[in-house]
């Protein structure tokens, strides 16, 4: 799939949708509207961002060998295609996922602040499953509650958990059980959960509040959660202001109701803080998490992402960049692409940057392809159009080749397109041939205070 072609088709469809129902008859107004459309005011050039390469933390089997995970985890956490598939290999964790496993072993609360597509869910699912498997007495009842801000997130997680915890096991023989309890369940499903509570309960904060206040559910479900081990707040950044205060009080009430003074709280978020250095951001996140959890969270237990470079070429090699542009983009298999100057320049431009002072690799801010092509043109003396096409071709080539061991593509990237609705056209109170035409609301014509 060529995502750039898909993007162009989406923009064309939106252009057709927003212009087909409006027929501007006044020539000057029509010219103004046509100019806005031609400039793409409603659909500016998209921003492009690369999903970076995360430092590896070892395969699940390696963590089992080291004693960090229960042996059954090696069988559970494998890619599986269907219920009969037991998986052929254990997944490889990112470094921040491994650090989350290590943090969970301390019994102390922690927060994971990593970007989109970084596998934050596994950073708490794996420690929860490991804790359940290690319990000497597998008493029935809820050991972990995972709270999502939206039901859609809980529904999505159900599908992922099913692949790990049910696929490859005979019905009824699953080592760890889970269930969704968000208010969407029908009567029979709800009764089954109350009668036989799962090890892991997926819910939302509103439903969790109701569970604490409804007598029947409090008697049966909260009773089953005595000694609760984990309370996870996914998308922690959504809990702010009054809602944040409500959730903070809810966490304390759950701790008291479940008689879990040593409850381990876990938070995840991609956007908790964005000002200052990475260390400054961790300090801020730790303070916020401490307030919400009602338990001390120190900056060293705010786990961030550790990034690696996927490419190894010389992004300052002007001759190499020029050659790649003139051939229409970098080509070849994974290793050849990773070593090309243009692919390395693309990773630095759209994916990775270095933090001033520390040299730590951090995410690059998203950039626009056309603007970046102009920068590349200055380095190569090629035209902006040629550079634009070479960048796009190299991105697509990088997305189609996979690393021989991790099976990860060299480039996984996203386009962020912003659309706006059609707006109002304003004119000054003057004859048609002289009136000022604008799409920005104002009381007077710019530079002419006497014209309204």
pLDDT in tens, 65-88: 999 999 999 999 999 989 888 888
Q: Is the pLDDT of residue 101 over 90?
A: yes
Structure tokens at 293: 């959890």
Which of 58-62, 256-260, 341-345, 356-360 is predicted least confidently? Answer: 356-360
Distance of CA 348 to the CA centre of its chain: 20
Among candidate residues 259, 214, 205, the one with its CA nearest the CA of residue 233: 205
Q: Is the pLDDT of residue 279 over 90?
A: no
Separation in Å, CA 341 to CA 318, 379, 390: 8, 12, 12
Mean pLDDT for 297-311 is 92
Output the pLDDT for position 384.
Answer: 95
Dist CA 139 CA 141 (whole Å): 6
How does DSSP assign 19-38, residue by residue? HTT----SHHHHHHHHHHHH
Instruction: Find the DSSP H helices in 141-297.
Output: 151-165, 187-195, 205-213, 215-217, 223-224, 241-257, 278-293
Among candidate residues 369, 378, 441, the one with its CA nearest the CA of residue 45: 369
% of residues, the chain, pLDDT over 70 = 98
Burial of 422-447, coded b for 16+ CB within 10 Å and e otherwise, reads beebeebeeeeeebbeeeeeeeebee
Q: Is the pLDDT of residue 47 over 90?
A: yes
List, for residues 132-146, the tens digit of each pLDDT value: 999 877 778 899 999
- pTM for this predicted structure: 0.84
Output the pLDDT for position 272.
Answer: 58
10 Å CB burial of residue 136 (0-12, 13-18, 19+) is exposed
Output the pLDDT for position 140.
Answer: 84
Split at pLDDT 50, 70, 90, the class of 424 is confident
Q: Is the pLDDT of residue 224 over 80?
A: yes
Average model confidence (pLDDT) across the chain? 90
Q: Is the pLDDT of residue 391 over 80?
A: yes
Among candidate residues 13, 12, 22, the one with its CA nearest the CA of residue 422: 22
Mean pLDDT for 110-125 is 89
Output the pLDDT for position 26.
Answer: 82
Sole residue written with tokens 């007077």: 444
Using alpha carbons only, how large is the chain's radius of gyration in Å? Answer: 27
Among candidate residues 329, 309, 310, the one with its CA nearest the CA of residue 376: 329
Mean pLDDT for 186-194 is 88
Split at pLDDT 50, 70, 90, the class of 399 is very high
Mean pLDDT for 353-360 is 84
Q: Is the pLDDT of residue 326 over 90?
A: yes
Using DSSP bridges, classify how beta strands 200-204 and 178-180 pair: parallel, antiparallel or unpaired.
Answer: parallel
Output the pLDDT for position 72.
Answer: 94
Split at pLDDT 50, 70, 90, the class of 211 is very high
Q: Is the pLDDT of residue 271 over 80?
A: no
% of residues, the chain, pLDDT over 90 = 60
- If one compares 89 and 229, the residue with the highest pLDDT of the two is 229
Q: What is the largest CA-CA distance in the chain?
A: 87
Among candidate residues 41, 87, 112, the one with its CA nearest the CA of residue 297: 112
Among candidate residues 247, 298, 235, 284, the one with its CA nearest the CA of residue 109: 298
Mean pLDDT for 357-385 is 91
List, for residues 4-35, the tens digit of each pLDDT value: 999 999 999 988 888 877 788 888 888 888 88
Which of 185-199, 346-360, 420-434 is predicted least confidently? Answer: 420-434
Output the pLDDT for position 404.
Answer: 83
Output the pLDDT for position 264.
Answer: 96
Split at pLDDT 50, 70, 90, the class of 452 is low
Residue 378's region, left for phi above 0, alpha for psi from -120 to 50, else beta, is alpha
- If one compares 197 and 23, the residue with the highest pLDDT of the two is 197
Output the pLDDT for position 103.
Answer: 94
Split at pLDDT 50, 70, 90, the class of 356 is confident
Mean pLDDT for 291-310 is 92
Mean pLDDT for 303-327 is 93
Mean pLDDT for 245-257 is 94
Split at pLDDT 50, 70, 90, the class of 62 is very high
Structure tokens at 383: 């035209």
CA atoms within 13 A on the CB side of 14: 18
């Amino acid at each position: 799939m060529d995502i750039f072609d898909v993007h162009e088709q989406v923009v064309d469809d939106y252009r057709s949708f927003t212009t087909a129902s409006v027929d501007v008859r006044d020539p000057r107004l029509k010219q103004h509207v046509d100019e806005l459309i031609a400039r793409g005011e409603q659909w500016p050039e998209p921003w492009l961002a690369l999903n970076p390469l995360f430092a590896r933390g070892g395969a699940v089997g390696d963590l089992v060998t080291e004693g960090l995970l229960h042996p059954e985890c090696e069988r559970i956490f494998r890619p599986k295609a269907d219920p009969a598939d037991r998986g052929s290999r254990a997944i490889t964790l990112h470094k921040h996922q491994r650090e989350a496993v290590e943090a969970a072993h301390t019994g102390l609360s922690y927060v994971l602040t990593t970007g989109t597509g970084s596998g934050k869910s596994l950073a708490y699912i794996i420690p929860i499953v490991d804790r359940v498997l290690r319990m000497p007495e597998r008493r029935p009842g809820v050991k972990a509650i995972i709270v999502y801000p939206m039901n859609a997130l809980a529904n999505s997680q159900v599908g992922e958990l099913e692949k790990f915890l049910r696929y490859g096991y005979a019905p009824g023989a699953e080592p760890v059980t889970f269930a969704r309890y968000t208010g969407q369940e029908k009567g029979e499903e709800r009764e089954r959960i109350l009668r036989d509570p799962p090890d892991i309960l997926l819910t939302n904060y509103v439903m969790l509040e109701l569970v604490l206040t409804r007598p029947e559910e409090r008697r049966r479900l909260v009773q089953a959660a005595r000694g609760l081990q984990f309370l996870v707040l996914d998308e922690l950044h959504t809990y702010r202001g009054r809602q944040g205060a409500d959730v903070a009080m809810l966490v304390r009430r759950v701790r008291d109701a479940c008689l879990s003074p040593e409850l381990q709280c876990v938070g995840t978020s991609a956007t908790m803080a964005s000002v200052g250095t990475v260390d400054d951001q961790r300090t801020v996140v730790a303070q916020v998490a401490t307030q919400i959890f009602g338990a001390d969270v120190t900056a060293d237990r705010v786990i961030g992402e550790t990034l690696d470079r996927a490419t190894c070429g010389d992004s300052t090699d002007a001759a190499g960049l020029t050659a790649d542009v003139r051939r229409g983009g970098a080509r070849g298999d994974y290793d050849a692409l990773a070593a090309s100057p243009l692919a390395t320049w693309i990773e630095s431009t759209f994916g990775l940057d270095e933090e001033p002072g520390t040299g730590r690799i951090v995410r690059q801010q998203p950039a626009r392809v056309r603007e970046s092509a102009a920068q590349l043109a200055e380095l190569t003396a090629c035209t902006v159009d040629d550079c634009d096409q070479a960048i796009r071709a190299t991105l697509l080539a990088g997305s189609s080749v996979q690393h021989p061991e991790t099976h990860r593509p060299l480039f996984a990237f996203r386009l962020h397109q912003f659309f706006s609705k059609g707006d109002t056209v304003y004119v000054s109170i003057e004859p048609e041939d002289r009136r000022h035409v604008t799409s920005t609301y104002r009381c007077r014509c710019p530079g002419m205070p006497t014209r309204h």
